[in-house]
Amino acid sequence: MSGVGKRRSHESAVGHVTGKAVYTDEQRPPHGMLSVYPVLAPHAKARILEIDWTAAHQIPGCVTVLSAADVPGQNDTGVIVQDEPLFPTEISYWGQAVVWVVGETEQAAREAAAKVVVKYEPIEPILSIQAAVQAESFHTQPQVIRRGEPGLALAQAKHTLTGTVEMNGQDHFYLETQTSWVIPDGEGHYQVYASTQHPSETQTIVARVLGVPNNQVVVTCLRMGGGFGGKESQANPFAAVAAVAAHKTGRPVRIKLKRQHDMILTGKRHGFLGQYQVGFTADGQITALDLDLYCDGGWSLDLSPPVLLRAILHVDNAYYIPNLEVRGRIVKTNKASNTAFRGFGGPQGMIVMEDIVDRIARTLEIPPEVIRERNFYHGTGETNTTHYRQEIFDNRIARVWTEAKTKANFAERQAAVAQFNQANPYKKRGIAITPVKFGISFNKVQYNQAGALILVYTDGSIQLNHGGTEMGQGLHTKMLQVAATTLGVKIERFRMMPTSTDKVPNTSATAASSGSDLNGQAVKDACETIKSRLASVAANLLNLAPTALIFADDWIFCATDPSRRVTFTDVVQQAYNERISLSATGYYRTPEIFWDANTNTGKPFYYYAYGTAVSEVEVDGFTGTFKLRQVDIVHDVGESINSLVDRGQIEGGFVQGMGWLTMEELVWDEQGRFRSDAPSTYKIPTISEIPEHFEVHLLERAAQDGVIYGSKAVGEPPLMLAMSVREAIRAAVAAFGQANYVPLAAPATPEATLRAIECVRAHSRVPADSQLTASV
């Protein structure tokens, strides 16, 4: 059977492996489709003085050049505030698109784009968080959250430390770059095919730019070649450009960014800077935290406010901090506008905390994992309540942690690592264990709703629609399982339809790990409506009460006498004959959650997801390179709907997080030119970075009340398990000396790691040289 709880391959797996799965740009092209190509600005900040495209028109195949004058509606694609001109008058980051050239072919558009002459007046750009803070270049006012009396508690603390933690952003590097097709029907309507995680928002933005009501625009997402948050708001401007081109020319238009353009033009995970003062007791109990958290929004606001909020709400990670003040602020820099990326600020907040925890540990010379344990949320009431006043009613932190320690043989291996380090002066191993607690629900309460539409045909075949998009995470697979289980039919009966705004309106982004929770309930609701209608029909056919029926395996039968039965298809046919509707919508909104934006308190999360990872690394003291030797994970996915999909999310999320924290380095030069704009210069993990031993254990007996079939969200939380790799590298670096502070940059590239080693050697009580030569 293929219902809920079964390990089942991705619904498109056969399409994937045969190359037959169709992505946006691989549909059969409509007649006369045009392509667009951008003209990129060579300055990080500049006024545009003049644009001359006369030479472009001389290129054969150049159709037209798009500029602000061609926008029939509003020239803005901003999602929270309107601060994102599609065709700008001022350049706000290096590589920003000034105009777009439309060509009969991409090659023609490209050649014509090279002929567009733009005159600029360069302006001094702001290129770092520090520079922005200094220049008071902010997008927003500070967002402050406070608990207890942090000032007083710091003054009374036995120990205090101050420090800064800085981390780089991350490129999404979805394998399929941003893509949209816009097909005008000649009657003023637009069919948009977009690789978007948020079709309803793409619809809204395209309609806004075209100056038409939303109902004139249909946005359809077939499937995405990866998203990770990078196709939430970021898909919109490119769909909008194609829409403007389609409007102007009356012809179908496609846009598919070259990899380099995608990396230059689109926003990334936010870089963060944290400046903290922490107070703690002699045994490492944190008593107070005062934190300034700066988040690099880039040139426009995009989704930065909720990203920052999630960071602020996750600075505690798994730890109870009785007195705390966090002041968060979004800085405005001349970089691409940073955006959603798996974890959505949560990882950045948690990394600040884990950095602090490690520092406390080394200051007190207590093992980091002991400090972590001593600070876990625990008990009930205050010690189990977050700084935003949500009590963690389902606290599984200690349970997951203990299980991970056991499964990973943590104590034994820690001893083995120490032994290895004793014997090896030039390479050191490190082992670390880190927890994850991640809040599930969109912070924005109104996003926590979803819809579905089910269409049953008289032959018993079914089309299933829901508001979520498929980007590889297996949402459609899970939704099919939910539908098959709820209706008691075989999964082969269903055709999963592409996500489309003309089927389910006003959908939320497929984001915040919520896809399965929200859409699953909506699908279930729709199926239950159909089921209850069919039950009455079947009850008549079998001469039973509807409540006496069971739906299973394509049959509807008597619970007490299974031989009294009728096929699903027969009942469908009979329902049609009796003029009973065979289509139904489903709807869901998450209960209980609320948020007071004035006090920054409430219950923003319906529940929490938990995990713990143990990682072991070996670091080379000559080069700073590391090898990940072993990973053991215990993760809480509730009662898994599909363990194959869930493991895939855990493994994939972990490796993506490891890439962010160890090798993926975004590089801008001193003029703000983005230099890591290709896979030759921006390195995501390959298979060779994955250890032989990589064990994932799903927490058992973990059903979550009130969530679809007892499951839990799994998209984002596992990414943060990779903090264990960073902490393991730190542990290995620490073993090169005796320092009580191991400043390790993020990402911990070989260069950063070697610097940390040098720093540890320099600040060790044992001189570095004697360390080096001691035991050769």
Question: What residues numbered 159-198 form the site for another protein, per CB under 8 A?
Answer: 172-176
- Strand order of the β-sheet with 159-167 is 143-147, 323-332, 286-298, 272-280, 159-167
The least distance separating another protein from the CB of residue 419, rounded to whole angstroms, comes to: 17
What the block records as the tokens of 348 is 């950045």
Question: What residues numbered 445-504 form the site for another protein, per CB under 8 A?
Answer: 471-474
The least distance separating another protein from the CB of residue 623, rounded to whole angstroms, comes to: 5
* 59 versus 326: smaller Cβ distance to another protein: 59
Question: What residues numbered 627-666 form the site for another protein, per CB under 8 A?
Answer: 627, 643-645, 647-648, 651-656, 663, 665
Question: What residues numbered 217-236 form the site for another protein, per CB under 8 A?
Answer: 223-228
**Helix pair 723-734, 643-662: axis angle to 10 deg:** 40
**Is 716 one of the catalytic residues?**
yes
* 150 versus 747: smaller Cβ distance to another protein: 747
* 529 versus 749: smaller Cβ distance to another protein: 749
Question: What residues numbered 5-64 form the site for another protein, per CB under 8 A?
Answer: 7, 9-10, 12-23, 26
Question: What residues numbered 262-281 form the site for another protein, per CB under 8 A?
Answer: none
Asked if residue 682 lies in contact with residue 173, where contact means CB atoms within 8 angstroms, the answer is yes
* 7 versus 589: smaller Cβ distance to another protein: 7
The alpha carbon of residue 508 and the mean position of all alpha carbons in its chain are separated, in whole angstroms, by 14
Strand, coil or helix: what is 565?
strand
Out of 159, 258, 378, 564, point to the residue binding another protein (CB under 8 A): 258
* 9 versus 160: smaller Cβ distance to another protein: 9
Residues 6+ apart with CB under 8 A from 490: 2, 484, 553, 554
Residues 6+ apart with CB under 8 A from 393: none
Question: What residues numbered 680-719 form the site for another protein, per CB under 8 A?
Answer: 680-681, 683-690, 692, 694
The least distance separating another protein from the CB of residue 611, rounded to whole angstroms, comes to: 14
Residue 622 engages another protein in binding (rule: CB under 8 A): yes
Q: How far apart are CA 296 and CA 166, in angstroms?
A: 11
The least distance separating another protein from the CB of residue 25, rounded to whole angstroms, comes to: 8
The least distance separating another protein from the CB of residue 103, rounded to whole angstroms, comes to: 13
What the block records as the tokens of 435 is 């927890």
Q: How does DSSP classify residue 23?
A: P
Question: What residues numbered 725-754 form the site for another protein, per CB under 8 A?
Answer: 749-751, 754
Question: What residues numbered 586-605 form the site for another protein, per CB under 8 A?
Answer: none
Residues 6+ apart with CB under 8 A from 187: none
Residue 762 engages another protein in binding (rule: CB under 8 A): no
* 228 versus 401: smaller Cβ distance to another protein: 228
Q: Are strands 601-603 and 594-596 parallel, antiparallel or unpaired?
A: antiparallel
Q: Residue 584's closest CA among 650, 664, 504? A: 504
Buried b (16+ CB within 10 A) or exposed e, 227-240: bbbbbbbbbbbbbb
Q: How far apart are CA 338 and CA 365, in angstroms?
A: 38
Residues 6+ apart with CB under 8 A from 547: none
Asked if residue 720 lies in contact with residue 520, where contact means CB atoms within 8 angstroms, the answer is no
Asked if residue 257 lies in contact with residue 144, where contact means CB atoms within 8 angstroms, the answer is no
What the block records as the tokens of 345 is 């600020």
The least distance separating another protein from the CB of residue 637, rounded to whole angstroms, comes to: 14
Residue 771 engages another protein in binding (rule: CB under 8 A): no
* 227 versus 672: smaller Cβ distance to another protein: 227
The least distance separating another protein from the CB of residue 754, rounded to whole angstroms, comes to: 6
Question: What residues numbered 88-147 form the site for another protein, per CB under 8 A?
Answer: 107, 110
* 284 versus 624: smaller Cβ distance to another protein: 624
Residue 678 engages another protein in binding (rule: CB under 8 A): yes
The least distance separating another protein from the CB of residue 21, rounded to whole angstroms, comes to: 5
- The residue annotated as part of the active site, out of 689, 716, 751, 758, is 716
Residues 6+ apart with CB under 8 A from 142: 327, 328, 329
> Can you state the percent helix, strand and coil of the chain, rounding each to 5?
35, 25, 40
Out of 57, 146, 259, 413, point to the residue binding another protein (CB under 8 A): 259
Active site residues: 716
